[in-house]
Chains A and B, each alone.
Chain A
Amino acid sequence: MTQDNNILVDVQNLSKLFPIGQGVFKQAASFVHAVSELNLQIKRGESVGLVGESGCGKTTTGKLLTRLLDPTDGNIILDTDEGQVDIAHMRGKKMKIFRRRVQMIFQDPYESMNPRLTIYDTVAEPLNVQGVGSVAEREARVADLLETVGLAPASSFLFRYPHELSGGQRQRVAIARALVINPDFVVADEPTSMLDVSVRTGVMHLMQDLADRFGVTYLYITHDLAVARYMCDRIAVMYLGKIVEIGDTEDVLQNPQHPYTKALISAVPVPDPTYTREPIKIKGGVSRPVDPAPRCRFYDRCPLADKVCESNDHPPLEDKGGGHQAACYHV
């Protein structure tokens, strides 16, 4: 499919700070820097993976891009028909219009649907809320989409309840809901991690298929590098709120530059008993980035850490060749 080189989403210096110990009458004592000065550009039609372990800020980033959370700082520029729009600090009516362009697929197929609403109600919700089309048109659109995601015949799914469907079927409904309003950009937050393996591949194939057919741009958030390899054109590795490496998927996975990426990749189990994996040992465990010191965030676990890393601020992302960037002083 044709890809124009336009940048659909341009994230500039995005930050999100969560206060700790704040009450109605009390100021915050310290802050969790969940996302720090994040920069990311997503091209139209591409699928970018955001990978990392728990606490790295990938889910928070996803929520910031869909404005479920308000950014503390930074800009999110969306390229729309009406020109470049900064959605980071939008409010009110304009927000509602922005909602038509960005949608989300959630992780939990059980909890992401209101158990008291029918499948039709769930998928049609964006249409209902945005006031798109007549009731008959909405029904037709929902039925159409259900068949597209593989729930055919649509008439037998339209008025069922979520608890009557399996996990895989529910996730297909979630995909239908995300696409019903024809968005430009979809954030998928671990959409397959709670599904059985044999069902997972079906949903993965579906998402790729839909991306090809409808030109949807994805931000695919996952902790599973193997899944990211299959779903994403480019991967960004996050650690404690910062992107430490980004590049074409195969490039990053086969030729990692940042010490964290190397350690992460080496820790992933391989489904081949004859393969000997050599895990790279790094110290300690991941912690929350509370009031981080002005040095490299990976300093206290990195095997390459030294004075340079400690005395300077967190290293910027530098191009290491062919669009592959890493944030490290020693690479």
Chain B
Amino acid sequence: MTEKVLAVNDLTMHYMTRKGPVFAVDGVTFHVDRGEAIGLVGESGCGKTSIAISLLKLLPNNAKILNGEIRINDTDVVPLTDNEMNKYRWKDISMVFQAAMNSMNPVYTVEEQILEAMREHMPQLSDKEMDEKIDHLFTLVGLDPTLKDQYPHQYSGGMRQRAVIAMALSCDPDIIIADEPTTALDVIVQDAILKRVREIQEKLNMAMIYISHDIAVIAEVSKRVGVMYAGKLVEMASTEAIFHRPVHPYTMALMSSFPSIVGEKADLVTLAGEPPDLLNPPSGCRFHPRCPYATEICHEQEPEFRDHGADHFAACWHPGGEK
């Protein structure tokens, strides 16, 4: 029986800038089942990081959620105040940030930083229990527990990443959002950490949203993938369907523009144009200026995000490139 750990309905969020509102997330709807790992892929400015911070309501001052619901374990957290939201953060939903190196406080030991979160959300545990839990977490992520009283700068890049993952796991969340956690790491270290994360996820039956611009990584860690473009979710389906039977022209282009070291050396597709300016997005379908299949209607009307069969969702007037 799959229950939804996270359900996002028609989420719209904007940043208020000097030149006007930027709709970084526009009408996004998706869900994550318990224990499921989904991927969110897209380029810079597509809104994937904006979604991540919206889910945890860690919005900067000039950002606001205008519309939609975020249901965590069936409770809508959008109307909650920051204090009320604190009860959910780290405990129900937690996050591994981009550039994890910088999300650790350099003047506290790693242990202290994890304890801080635990004391806040699990006050019922005794000091000894918390200590044991940290040891357990360290082993889980592949770190030597004796190193827990060191400072972040004493850790290597890979170790810091593992420490941040341990922090995110410390209060037994139901879902973790990992925003480009391995982007800055070397490929061998990345491989080890991804393997570890997959094991943890399966073992704890934890849900995950894996955000990245690297579709190769997404292909390996997620069961379902959502493709974002210019603040909109343009396609969502099982990983296999997205890679082998993409429906939205953007996804199609994306899949063919990624070089791979295995298999035949196929020609790479170049996508014309640039990602749009979100201050003044194109009318109708936001992808139409770059789409090789665009017609009148794409220019005028935004396509609906609907099921094209077998739980394969896309927002396109010409799915699969057909005219």
- Judge whether A132 is part of the interface by a CB distance below 8 angstroms: no
Interface of chain A residues 156 through 202 with chain B (CB within 8 A):
166, 168-169, 196-202
Q: A199 contacts B244, CB within 8 Å?
A: no
A286 to B44 alpha-carbon distance, docked (Å): 30
Question: Within 8 Å CB of B274, what residues of A?
Answer: 166, 168-169, 199
**Of the candidates A166, A205, A253, A270, which one forms a contact with B216 in the assembled complex, judged by CB atoms under 8 Å apart?**
A270
CB distance from A185 to the nearest CB of B (A): 24
The size class of the interface chain B forms with chain A is 35 or more
- Judge whether B243 is part of the interface by a CB distance below 8 angstroms: yes
Of B10-18, B57-65, B166-174, B258-266, which stretch is located at the interface? B258-266
Interface of chain B residues 237 through 275 with chain A (CB within 8 A):
239-240, 243-244, 253-255, 257-263, 265, 268-271, 274-275
A253 to B264 alpha-carbon distance, docked (Å): 12
CB distance from B321 to the nearest CB of A (A): 17
**Of the candidates A54, A198, A269, A279, which one forms a contact with B257 in the assembled complex, judged by CB atoms under 8 Å apart?**
A198
Question: Within 8 Å CB of B318, what residues of A?
Answer: none
- Judge whether A43 is part of the interface by a CB distance below 8 angstroms: no
Q: A264 contacts B188, CB within 8 Å?
A: yes
Please judge, given known A-B contacts A198-B257, A223-B186, A272-B260, whether A267 and B243 are in contact too, CB under 8 Å: no
Question: Within 8 Å CB of B156, what residues of A?
Answer: 285
Please judge, given known A-B contacts A229-B265, A282-B188, whether A274 and B259 are in contact too, CB under 8 Å: no
- Judge whether B214 is part of the interface by a CB distance below 8 angstroms: yes
- Judge whether A263 is part of the interface by a CB distance below 8 angstroms: yes
Q: A271 contacts B158, CB within 8 Å?
A: no
Most buried by B among A196, A223, A277: A196
Please judge, given known A-B contacts A271-B216, A282-B188, A285-B158, whether A197 and B263 are in contact too, CB under 8 Å: no
A82 to B240 alpha-carbon distance, docked (Å): 58
CB distance from B36 to the nearest CB of A (A): 15
Please judge, given known A-B contacts A205-B268, A277-B220, A285-B158, whether A268 and B187 are in contact too, CB under 8 Å: yes
Q: B254 contacts A198, CB within 8 Å?
A: yes
Question: Within 8 Å CB of B215, what residues of A?
Answer: 197, 271
Chain A 134-173, CB-CB to B under 8 Å as 1, else 0, gives 0000000000000000000000000000000010110000
Please judge, given known A-B contacts A198-B275, A273-B220, A285-B158, whether A205 and B261 are in contact too, CB under 8 Å: no
A277 to B260 alpha-carbon distance, docked (Å): 13
Question: Within 8 Å CB of B254, what residues of A?
Answer: 197-198
A54 to B188 alpha-carbon distance, docked (Å): 11
A267 to B156 alpha-carbon distance, docked (Å): 19
Q: A197 contacts B219, CB within 8 Å?
A: no
Q: B260 contacts A271, CB within 8 Å?
A: yes
- Judge whether B217 is part of the interface by a CB distance below 8 angstroms: yes
Question: Within 8 Å CB of A168, what residues of B?
Answer: 274
Q: A230 contacts B265, CB within 8 Å?
A: yes
Q: A267 contacts B191, CB within 8 Å?
A: yes
A270 to B187 alpha-carbon distance, docked (Å): 12
- Judge whether A293 is part of the interface by a CB distance below 8 angstroms: no
Most buried by B among A197, A230, A250, A265: A197
- Judge whether B213 is part of the interface by a CB distance below 8 angstroms: yes
**Of the candidates B191, B268, B275, which one forms a contact with A204 in the assembled complex, judged by CB atoms under 8 Å apart?**
B268
A292 to B220 alpha-carbon distance, docked (Å): 36
Please judge, given known A-B contacts A53-B187, A271-B219, whether A196 and B261 are in contact too, CB under 8 Å: no
Q: List 30 A-B contacts (CB under 8 A).
A: A53-B186, A53-B187, A54-B186, A196-B43, A196-B213, A197-B215, A198-B257, A202-B271, A205-B268, A223-B187, A225-B187, A225-B261, A229-B261, A230-B265, A268-B216, A268-B261, A269-B190, A269-B191, A269-B216, A269-B217, A271-B215, A271-B216, A271-B255, A272-B219, A272-B263, A274-B240, A274-B244, A275-B263, A285-B189, A286-B186
A→B interface (CB under 8 Å): 53-54, 166, 168-169, 196-202, 204-205, 223, 225-227, 229-230, 250, 253, 263-265, 267-275, 277, 279, 282, 285-286
